[in-house]
Structure 1
């Protein structure tokens, strides 16, 4: 007989059995393996279903980006307010104390091969294998995907290899929609790119915010987190973040709009409040200014 909480009580075993088992809260994840769900549960907050990732992997093709000249000094003060590190193997191993990671998830950049000096950024390789990802306790492997670029096929091949090995060991993959210097940033393009990445088998997709973003979310069967992109004024970055969450994004992977902010610590807290508390961008901007004043 069910008690008032909807639990079946078993006299024989003395345990409660839920009458209904809810689906896994991460979009598209109902049929994943136990290990895959465990890692996704670390990335996406179970209470909100959202994630705030801190991207600081820019050096893999940009070099010492402004605000990231010293990873060991710039990143640690922000850690308490994020859910997930998004970094490279070298950046994590050389500059981030493992004690800092605690219960934070790790998204590990596993693709490389291009630089800001190249006209074509789409010619990449997989530079970190699954064994290394597991040694680093990664919860997510991230690889760039260049839909419509000269090396589209090779980037999808890279994505496929990462997904195949990740699935074998229960480590999810995030396909990152790349927008090169000449590539469009429209809902039509992002619907195409995110759907291809999801159909190949990625468990998470990262792309940019755009007009009609809700149509991008609706057509992608797995969670989408938005990229922060280039530095823009704090008010605009917070509005972009708020709009993306309202339209169904599962989180943000923000870098330059946090660590290049006038006050990175105030900015990361304002972004977190949007992602996990649902405040609007005006409240978040007021919060940013109040924290900055302190």
Structure 2
């Protein structure tokens, strides 16, 4: 890995734990101004307060809000998009490139690939092209790898394939769905040569979300990349702090729930979070 990638990755991962909490907020290009993302700049500020290491946004958010000049949280620029109104929402196309991401000050870029979708071939080509450019520019690449398509399910086996494809095509970090238990997710991680973080999906109960995070960390994940579960939470900053207690601090779900519910007995940083 070249020096540029190493330096940029340090802005995304926690120095002490070597792990990361990423909060993607690229959903507006797909679904419009959904709840929690009416004001993306404010949403980023809230999760930053909770201790998020990085966020994922599209280029227009960087150029039209203060996010691009905020050095307090890692910036991952999302390069691919589709809309819920299109004929094939699973078919992602490149709407930005690595060179533009460099000019916008990105710490990393991300590409979304749906393995098994109708346009799988086009998305794989885009991932390969982006990987080549990332090597040239010293830019870390996050590959969001999902098994999605007609007849395709998010089974442990298909998730394992999706994660491996991302690593094979040159990603530095893989985001994929959690398989449901630590043992099967460990198989995903053991079959992938680069770090893996879990996706969030639709919001779940606090306990369920934290159990998924704990299970992933037990399996060897390097963190999480959760969007709606975080920015649509009743208190995003508290949720990030509770997740961070598990990811960075090794706390249990029970201990993290105490922090999330405001019965603070841990570090002072949690005690100052808003309700």
Note the C-alpha offset of 1:131: 2.0
Note the C-alpha offset of 1:181: 6.7
Aligned residue number for residue 48 of structure 1 = 17
Note the C-alpha offset of 1:293: 9.0
Q: Would you say the 8 A contact 1:121–1:180 is kept in 2?
A: no
Residue 209 of structure 2 is aligned to residue 240 of structure 1: no
Which structure's CA Rg is the greater one?
1
Given candidates 120, 124, 146, the residue that maps to 2:88 is 120
Q: Would you say the 8 A contact 2:145–2:174 is kept in 1?
A: yes
* In structure 2, C-alpha distance between the alignment counterparts of 1:40 and 1:87, rounded to whole Å: 17
* In structure 2, C-alpha distance between the alignment counterparts of 1:126 and 1:46, rounded to whole Å: 31
Aligned residue number for residue 289 of structure 1 = 261
Q: Would you say the 8 A contact 2:115–2:149 is kept in 1?
A: no
Aligned residue number for residue 224 of structure 2 = 252
SS at match of 2:111: strand
Aligned residue number for residue 269 of structure 1 = 241
Note the C-alpha offset of 1:92: 2.7
Q: Structure 2 length normalisation: TM-score?
A: 0.89
Q: Would you say the 8 A contact 2:25–2:56 is kept in 1?
A: yes
Q: CA offsets per residue over residues 52-75 of structure 1, 9 Å max, x none?
A: 111111111111111111213332
Aligned residue number for residue 95 of structure 1 = 65
* In structure 2, C-alpha distance between the alignment counterparts of 1:128 and 1:293, rounded to whole Å: 36
Q: CA offsets per residue over residues 194-240 of structure 1, 9 Å max, x none?
A: 11110111111110101311110110000011111111111111111
* In structure 2, C-alpha distance between the alignment counterparts of 1:71 and 1:215, rounded to whole Å: 36
Backbone CA RMSD of aligned residues: 1.8
Aligned residue number for residue 105 of structure 2 = 137
Q: Would you say the 8 A contact 1:76–1:96 is kept in 2?
A: no
SS at match of 2:248: helix
Given candidates 46, 60, 64, the residue that maps to 2:29 is 60
Note the C-alpha offset of 1:46: 2.6
Q: CA offsets per residue over residues 255-279 of structure 1, 9 Å max, x none?
A: 1111111221211111111111011
Given candidates 44, 50, 55, the residue that maps to 1:85 is 55
Q: Which runs of 5+ in 2 are unaligned?
A: 264-272
* In structure 2, C-alpha distance between the alignment counterparts of 1:179 and 1:261, rounded to whole Å: 26
Given candidates 170, 178, 183, the residue that maps to 1:209 is 178
Residue 114 of structure 2 is aligned to residue 146 of structure 1: yes
